[in-house]
Amino acid sequence: MVPPPLAALLGSLLLCCAGLTKGVKITSAVQPMVEKAQGEKVTLPCTFTLAPEDQGPLDVEWILIPTDNQKKEQTILMYSVDRIYNDYYEAMKERVRFTNSDPKLGDGSIDILNLKSTDTGTYQCKVKKAPGVESQKIQLTVLVKPARTKCYIEGSQETGSDLILKCASQEGSPLLSYNWRKLTGTEELPATSLLNKDTGELSVKNASQEYSGTYTCVAANRVGTDECFVVLNVTPPINAAGTIAGAVIGTLLGLLLLAFLIFCCCKKRKEKKYEKEVHHDIREDVPPPKSRTSTAHSYIGSNRSSLGSMSPSNMEGYAKTPYNKVPSEDFERSSGQNPNFPPSKVAAPNLSRMGAVPVMIPAQSKDGSIV
Ligand SMILES: *[C@@H]1O[C@H](CO)[C@@H](O)[C@H](O)[C@H]1NC(C)=O
């Protein structure tokens, strides 16, 4: 039923596929993914066996299939008919070579030296010896080791406060993980601490002084580690509010003291001035205190004597005189009835009748003279 040409085609196809399995065979273990650090060297394996039915010349070709699908495949190294061609890919020209200088012996593996992150991609090894042909792919990821890792503390380092030990690498491929350790004392992380390995944060609640010490953070990804150190020094709290209150109170007290001193100073000066004046007066006009009292008595005595000198009849006359008429009568009397009675002395009884203390009058007048 099947036409002979088609049967021949099918037969040749079958032969081809059978030949593939029978002919060239890549023997290196399938290793879909390789991760290496930047700067390191990688060997991409591609060992093979040949079959007697493969008669053509041997070609071993390495192709880079970029992760970006838009970029075209790039041949990077080739062995063809006993010759090595390595002048394809500028970016890798000096860094790629066959691991075995004679690949025809069955080793088409390559070494890539001084890896760069841009070397990341899928590498395909293709071994051809017609009609046999086989290929294998390896995914290479060039990772950057964690580097320039910084440790620092965020928050107050006072007892009772919450703080965070922070750790961050400025370089390094994902996935980075961080771990904190304490190097001094009990070498145990604070009981109240919580570690986030992804962010590098070690949260410490209610800090206490025994948490003080040297801590280290180790940042790690699959290709390397980097560490940093920080010293935590938990100190007793400095009560800011208390300090401010203290300062304010202190200032107020100081001002009060100053005001008091100024007041005292002024008072003393005033007193001194007054004393000086009084002293001056006493010295000039009034005899010493003892004699002064005696003088006062003498004045009173003299007053009494002057009053006593008035006769009862005279007094009666004064008593009869209505208060409102006193001045005129006094004048009349002083001018007429009692010519011997001095007018100044007449005033005294009048004043006494008006409620004044007659005794004091001369003293007062004396004091008045003083002023
Ligand atoms: C904080 O720690 C001290 C002792 O270190 C403890 O007495 C206190 O209760 C703690 N406070 C809180 C809020 O956990």
- Atom 4 in ligand 1: which residue has the minimum CA distance? 208
> CA-CA distances (angstroms) from residue 111 to 62, 84, 321?
11, 14, 150
364 close to ligand 1 (CB < 6 Angstrom)? no
208 close to ligand 1 (CB < 6 Angstrom)? yes
Encoded amino acid at 181, one letter: R
Quote the ligand 1 centre to 356 CA distance (angstroms).
Answer: 84
209 close to ligand 1 (CB < 6 Angstrom)? no
- For the chain, the average pLDDT equals 76
Q: Look up residue 286 and give its two tokens.
A: 């009034």
- Atom 11 in ligand 1: which residue has the minimum CA distance? 206
161: left (phi > 0), else alpha (psi -120 to 50), else beta? beta
From the CB of residue 197, how many other CB atoms can be counted at a distance below 10 Å? Answer: 14
Q: What are phi and psi of 366, to 5 degrees?
A: -60, -50
Structure pTM? 0.49
pLDDT digits (tens, 9 = 90+) for 14-69: 444 444 456 899 999 888 899 898 999 999 999 999 999 989 999 999 999 987 77
Give the nearest ligand 1 atom to 208 CA.
5
Alpha carbons within 13 angstroms on the beta-carbon side of residue 17 total 5
- Atom 13 in ligand 1: which residue has the minimum CA distance? 206
175 Cβ contact partners less than 8 Å away, ≥ 6 residues apart:
221, 222
For residues 151 and 228, the answer to whether their CB atoms sit within 8 Å is yes
Question: Which of 206, 210, 211, when mutated, tests ligand 1's pocket best, judged by the most ligand atoms within 8 Å of its CB?
Answer: 206
Locate CATH 2.60.40.10 in the chain: 22-143, 147-232
Fold for the domain defined by 22-143:
Immunoglobulin-like (2.60.40)
Mean pLDDT of 314-320: 45
Quote the ligand 1 centre to 216 CA distance (angstroms).
Answer: 25
Quote the ligand 1 centre to 183 CA distance (angstroms).
Answer: 24
Under the banding of pLDDT at 50, 70 and 90, the label for residue 278 is: low
Asked whether residue 239 carries a pLDDT value surpassing 80, the answer given is no
Fold for the domain defined by 147-232:
Immunoglobulin-like (2.60.40)
pLDDT digits (tens, 9 = 90+) for 163-174: 999 999 999 999
Rounded to an integer, what distance in angstroms lies between the CA atom of residue 259 and that of residue 93? 90
For tokens 């400095």, what's the residue? 238
From the CB of residue 107, how many other CB atoms can be counted at a distance below 10 Å? Answer: 19
192 close to ligand 1 (CB < 6 Angstrom)? no
Q: Using CB atoms within 10 A of its CB, is residue 271 exposed (0-12), middle (13-18) or buried (19+)?
A: exposed
Give the nearest ligand 1 atom to 160 CA.
1
